[in-house]
Amino acid sequence: MQQVKRFSLMLISMVFVAFSASLTIKAAIGLAAWDAIAQSLSHLSAIQVGTIGMVLNISCVVGQMILLKRTFPPRQLLQIPISVLLGVLINYFYYTFFASLTLDNYAVTLVIFLIGTVLASFAVSMVMVLNIITFPLEGFCMALAKKTKYHFAFIRQMVDILAIFFTLVLTFSLDVPMTAREGTVIGMLIFAPLMGFFIKRLQPIINLKTEKAV
């Protein structure tokens, strides 16, 4: 029963991840590096951004399976339906729920972006504390770290740098709208500290509930 509650809480958190991601996309003042690639490819291909994100995330799961082979944890296959869920929800929130939302004032846009970033950090922190599955990109970076001499943090940072570089190449070579802007920098500065703040407070609550259930 406790596992059902934890899984349900994870699904609710994923809804908030999609909701907050859609808010930051709608703000259009820059996205996190990985999201910026998805948005740039969406502009380029006319495929919905959630669908692009879904494909990228599932590709990361496949990458984990190739790298880890028999040591790939079967439970992490849940990353695939979760990737699909996130993609579908982002498409719904961005293209339907927020379809009529117009942001003409920069100050309001910035506030919306910050709200989305705070919500995202909270939701991602909750998923990490629940520790049922990892996010596909992080899972791929961890798998790569196991197979190389590099640490996870270094690989994850390099992925962000490469993602921003690829986004800029698309922007300047193919006239794709800029998706790496001031919001990208703001996110890089505040997202990790916010996660540290939320994880520190969520961990005791989740652990206490688990102990009571036992």
Could you read off the pLDDT of 152-182 as tens digits, one per residue? 889 988 999 999 999 999 999 988 899 999 9
- pLDDT of amino acid 213: 53
Tokens linked to 13: 């958190």
pLDDT digits (tens, 9 = 90+) for 70-124: 999 999 999 999 999 999 999 999 999 999 999 889 999 999 999 999 999 999 9
Neighbour tally for 73: CB within 10 Å: 12
d(CA 82, CA 80): 5
Band of residue 2 on the pLDDT scale cut at 50, 70, 90: confident
- pLDDT of amino acid 148: 92
d(CA 156, CA 173): 26
Enter the pTM of the model. Answer: 0.90
